Amino acid sequence: MPSINHYNKYQSPLSERYASKEMCFIFSDQHKFSTWRKLWIALAEAQQELGLRTITSDQIDEMRRFQDTINFDTAKVYERKLRHDVMSHIHAYGEQCPKARPIIHLGATSAYVQDNTDLIQMKEGLHMVLAKLVNIVSVLSNQAVKYKDLATLSFTHFQPAQPTTLGKRICLWTQDYIFDIEEIETKIRGLRFHGVKGTTGTQASFLSLFHNDAEKVKRLDELVTKKMGFDSYYPVTGQTYSRKIDSQIAFGLTGIAQSSHKFSNDMRLLQHLKEVEEPFGEEQIGSSAMAYKRNPMRCERIAALARYVLCNCLNPAFTAASQWFERTLDDSANKRISVPEAFLAIDGILNIVLNVASGFSVYPAVINRHLADELPFMVTENILMEAVNAGGDRQELHERIRKHAMEATRRIKEAGDKNDLLERVAQDPSFSRIKSKLKEISDPIKLIGRAPQQVEEFINEIADPLLKRNNHLLNKKLIPALHV
């Protein structure tokens, strides 16, 4: 149980309510400082492998024993005195590893552990984001196939337009997430290691350490990079890697926020129409006052978090723009907040999207009723063409349909009547030659174009190959485990 003090200080809703425990761990102090220690171990190992005799195997073994056992309280004591987080952890680690104390952080600057850890955390975060995106595409693809033939009103300007199918609409959401997958995959492939660069990026300290052997210094960079799981490092840096990397990652995450906000908006509007509804728990309360309400709170939460991510991406952008020469420290406080919280917010968004996409309800009867209400207006051109083909005068018929449509519209708006346009046309002698065809002409299936075929083609040619390529990321446990 949390202590009373837990409730006496601000707790971030991102970690307390929205993000998964796995994403929170990636940006936790435990993971961060354990990674610092892994970096110090990798540096010492590589230096020893390259012939630095001052480093012994006993020292490295001692460092490994305490890699994950962080003496946080000791580090806090040092930080209050030293006002320097890296040095405080060097001293705390040194207390646990007295043999290794003289060689911890040898030749390195603070950015060695800070920047390389940031890159490791972002890489791990991107992989987690990618996995959830792939699962979303899988879920939405199944829904698209399920509803590929269900005719529904489409909307332009949120006004009724030519029918589509629900499956086709779902493909629009799915395609946006596929664009996001492609962007995140590109970001993962392009992410490199900061490496071992020294105080201003020149590697001067390491050149001195290896008695001006430039090849060994280059090899040191390569060895540590490989040990930490990266294929390549940035060839030139200042004291830090370019802060444009953070900005590019943040903007990649905003693409997911855009897709999710669009998805949530469409779902909220459909729920207003009572055509589609997000999951609703048996004991869930929609409103504290209006007991009947089933508010789309999950999709509203998606929209809220998405707006946060969209705004937050400006922080890394301003930080990248405002760095001076080889580095300034005005990035640090902002970066500590903006980068982890971008990942936590996106993780929270994707958790809810997975939940909604896998469990929304569809009400075909309501969809059909709305379609029937608007369909007569949409088939007027088809009626006109059939009547002309049957020998009628196009201009006279057009005027007759126009008058019937205006009267039907008036009755709908003023009296709340149902749309009786088709009945009016059927009773008009001008259309007697095609009266028997009116039911066939007004079949909504004839108005949805190639929507069902487009769904099949999209799933077979785009979604399925992507899912096959990422089959190892599909995880059915992701969805039931969600807490929203």
Residues with a catalytic annotation lie at: 157, 287
Residue 48: CB partners within 8 Å, gap ≥ 6?
A: 55, 56, 57, 60
Q: Hey, which residues does 152 pair with through a beta bridge?
A: 164
CA 371, 376, 381, 386 dihedral sign is: positive
Helix (H, G, I), strand (E, B) or coil at 151: strand
User: How many helices, marked H, and strands, marked E, lie in the chain?
Assistant: 21, 4
Of the candidates 422, 423, 430, the one whose C-alpha atom is nearest the C-alpha of residue 380 is 422
Q: State the CB neighbour count (10 A cutoff) for residue 104.
A: 20
Residue 294, phi then psi, degrees to nearest 5:
-125, 75
CA 309, 314, 315, 316 dihedral sign is: positive
Which residue type occupies 398? H
Segment (H or E) for 131 = helix 110-146
Residue 474, phi then psi, degrees to nearest 5:
-70, 130
Token readout for 107 is 């030749």
Distance set, CA 96 to CA 45, 84, 135 (Å) = 18, 19, 43
Token readout for 475 is 């995880």
User: Could you give the angle at the alpha carbon of 234 between the alpha carbons of 229 and 239, nearest 5°?
Assistant: 110
d(CA 163, CA 275): 14
Query: Is 239 within 8 Å of 199 (Cβ atoms)?
Result: yes
Query: Is 430 within 8 Å of 386 (Cβ atoms)?
Result: no
Query: Is 257 within 8 Å of 303 (Cβ atoms)?
Result: no
Token readout for 462 is 């785009």
Query: Is 286 within 8 Å of 293 (Cβ atoms)?
Result: yes
Helix/strand/coil percent split, the chain, to 5: 70, 5, 25
Q: What is the DSSP string of 408-470?
A: HHHHHHHH-----HHHHHHH-GGGGGGGGGHHHHT-GGGGSTTHHHHHHHHIIIIIHHHHHHT
